[in-house]
Homo-oligomer: A and B are copies of this chain.
Amino acid sequence: MMVSKAERRRGEIVARASEMGLASVDDLAARFGVTASTIRRDLAQLSRSGQLARTYGGAIAPGEHVETSLLQREHESFDAKAAIAGWAAEQVRPGESILLDAGSTVALLARRLPALEGLAVTTASVPVISLLRTRPELALTCLGGRLRDLSAAFVGPLTELALERLTFDRLFLGTDGVGADGSLCEAEPDQTRLKELMARRSRRIYVLAHSAKLGHAPFHSWARIDEPWTLVTDDGADPEFLDAFRRTGRDVVIRPVAQRAEA
């Protein structure tokens, strides 16, 4: 397996940038004996693959969550998600034990989680762990499991095994789609199974889903949660959907979106 000169250079650029935190285009150009154009092309490629973040005149090592959020284009409906996450964060009380599912909206909730006395947080989401690991005031627990890289969360028998040893005051679920009948759409059966199990172990259940997810079914696995749960969404929600959904007897919380995002 041959590595081209360019690949080796890119590797060294990454190493250099992560080591000293910053690398300038001109420095790198001089160091490797190539023109700035070549370095810029390298930086563009490395930035596309998330290994580096581009700056004006150079590059820096990205923060942990930058890679994911930058790469996955999860800025979509950011305002709606932030509004929903904000409301969810307000529900948590000191001393509680809460369970955080995977997903970008729930990750936002994790970030906005207030510093409460004796709060215990459990999750199977890697981004949530990265986000909360530096918060000394809360007790962080990870359900283990096999990594499902698409959702950056752990699933499988090990996850369920851990879950069966715990219960929670509040559960915050993410989802890929909500049906008008109150079912949750997921990419794989593993996830639906896990969500149902999580629900059984929790006293209060919230599903965080911005309005674009309501009535949306991108996949074909469905979780049915018979325990009462509250849908938290934004004010862009379709009234017809909400009518139908409310007839299932479940609560709905609607948060106004702060600003208009798109032009």
Chain A residues with CB under 8 Å of chain B are: 18-22, 30-31, 50, 53-56, 60-71, 75, 78, 82, 108, 111-112, 124, 126, 129-130, 133-134, 136, 139-147, 149, 152, 154, 157-159, 161-162, 165, 259, 263
Contact = CB atoms under 8 A, between A and B. Distances in A.
A62 to B, nearest CB: 6
A30 B16 CA distance: 36
Integer count of this chain's copies in the complex: 2
B61 A61 contact: no
A144 B53 CA distance: 31
28 contacts: A19-B82, A19-B108, A19-B112, A21-B68, A22-B69, A60-B62, A60-B66, A60-B70, A61-B66, A63-B64, A64-B64, A64-B130, A66-B133, A66-B134, A67-B134, A129-B147, A130-B130, A133-B147, A139-B147, A140-B146, A141-B144, A141-B145, A141-B154, A142-B145, A144-B144, A144-B145, A157-B165, A161-B165
A70 B145 contact: no
Contact of A147 (B18, B54, B64, B141): B141
A18 B63 CA distance: 9
A79 to B, nearest CB: 10
10 closest Cβ pairs, A-B complex: A144-B144, A21-B69, A140-B147, A21-B66, A144-B162, A142-B144, A56-B56, A61-B63, A143-B144, A63-B63
A142 B154 CA distance: 7
